[in-house]
Amino acid sequence: MNPHHLLCIGECMMELSPVEGGLFRPAFAGDTFVTAWYARELLPKTTPVELMTALGNDSFSATLLGFLHEAGIGIASVQIVPGRNIGLSMITIDEYGDRVLQHWRDTSAARKLAADPARLRSTMARADYIHFSGITMAILSAEDRETLLAELRRARAAGATVCFDPNIRPELWESRDALRTVLAEAARASSVVLTALDEEQAHLGVLSAEDSIARYQAIGVETVVVKRGPEGSMLLAGGRIQSIPAAPAPWVVDRTAAGDSFNGAFIARLMEGDTAERAARKASIVTAEVIAQKGALVRVSMRAGDR
């Protein structure tokens, strides 16, 4: 295992968002992809950041490969699945001005990203930090979920720091029981959980950030961050629970990447040697910069170690 190497495992989709004149602008989206992008922004260029996913042999998949390469995100573990394509996400605005997301994933190659245990194992062996999400788990078959979890447990036992964001999207799961069971097993395989309080309250019956932390602590998670939006976050680290205030944002333009940018910054700062507390405080600063700009992928002024 090489030190200072981040591997993010999950889906990347083509995203169409509305612009003036009834037209749509293409971009790329996906929670672990966005986390990788912000980690890449904030880590030294010599620190590898890699995305493990599966793409098709369509032109949009080829465009994404080029985008990842230009962004400095490693593509060595991207698998091309013939006959499949990249997933599609479309954003529309409803009558109340709210964003509505529609997804087309049935033929997405990303559903096959965990089909090869040997490939998973060899790829994870290169990394000392591994990040995945509840969406990663939701799009896989039951068999491939077990394969991925087994390899994550193996990687953690070998010394890797495994980071997990439950990112709860009930519409992706075949049942509520599957959602609860798989997310619990994914957390159990992880050393760091980065979760959102509003999602846990809505879908897991969690009452408070302290309640969420207690649940994860009971199954052996060492570090837990419960993201609470404008109220900041609650952190468990080293057996101590503390509140981390949100950094003030000059204004709020787009919250699209708030959680994923926090994840990327938090993991980047851990990799650079910060304590979990300092990592959470710096991640809050990054998130404040991100939500003050439009779009999921924006430049941030803070480089790793600047504050």
d(CA 1, CA 248): 38
d(CA 248, CA 251): 9
Find the helix packing angle between 31-42 and 258-271, rounded to 10°: 50
Find the helix packing angle between 31-42 and 276-291, rounded to 10°: 110
Q: Tell me, letter by letter, the H, E, C secondary structure of 226-273.
A: EECHHHCEEEEECCEEEEECCCCCCCCCCCCCHHHHHHHHHHHHHHCC
How far, CA to CA in Å, does 60 sit from each of 15, 85, 108, 248? 11, 8, 12, 37
Task: Count each helix (H run) and each strand (E run) in the chain, helices first.
Answer: 10, 14
Residue written as tokens 């605005």? 93
| DSSP secondary structure code for residue 22 in this structure | G
Single-letter amino acid, residue 61 = S
User: Given 144, 165, 260, 274, which residue is catalytic?
Assistant: 260
d(CA 59, CA 130): 28
Q: Is 274 annotated in the active site?
A: no
Partners of residue 51 on adjacent β-strands: 8
Catalytic (active-site) positions: 260
